[in-house]
Amino acid sequence: MVAISIIILIVCGLLALVVLAQNPKGGGLAAGFTGAQQIGGVQRTADFLEKGTWTLAGALMVLCLVSAGLQSDGSSAIDEMDTPAVEAAPAEEAAPPANEEAPPAGDASNAGGTTTP
């Protein structure tokens, strides 16, 4: 898992360098090669940078999907980060419904605990 993360960081760095080397108007590194008689020429450099950009972007996408697939490998083990920090308190006893009246504390007629209608 760590190896894939390192590869992802390397691909990200290379992708950033390739994108920054390009000029939005088609110049970039190719602007230095103005002579058409040179091997490769301007067009070849621009094509190489564009293909490199698409290749690195595709590799980054695949590596991210592989990394996500390896993280959720289907095991049901609970990760330490998934456990709650504070355990929930046990539920308290339910209070009597609001429509029932509780007998007054000093009422002796209800000493047996039964209610009279």
Q: Could you read off the pLDDT of 15-30 as tens digits, one per residue?
A: 999 998 887 765 555 5
- Which of 1-15, 26-40, 53-67 has the least mean pLDDT? 26-40
Tell me the DSSP string of 63-109.
HHHHHHHHH--S--PPPGGGS-SSPPPPPPPPPPPTTSPPPPTT-ST
- Which of 6-20, 23-37, 46-60, 81-95 has the least mean pLDDT? 23-37
Tell me the DSSP string of 11-46.
HHHHHHHHHHHS-TTS-GGGGG---TTSSSHHHHHH
Query: Taking 70 as the threshold, does the pLDDT of residue 64 lie above it?
Result: yes
Q: Where are the domains of the chain?
A: 1-19+41-71
Task: Please state the pTM of the whole predicted model.
Answer: 0.50
pLDDT at 66: 93
Q: Which residue has the tokens 């390739």?
A: 18
- The Cα 50–Cα 19 span in angstroms is 9
* Of 25, 43, 21, nearest in space to 34 by CA: 43
- Percentage of the chain exceeding pLDDT 70: 45
Q: Comparing 103 with 63, which gets the higher pLDDT?
A: 63
- The greatest distance separating any two alpha carbons of the chain, rounded to the nearest whole angstrom, comes to 115
Question: What DSSP character marks residue 8?
Answer: H
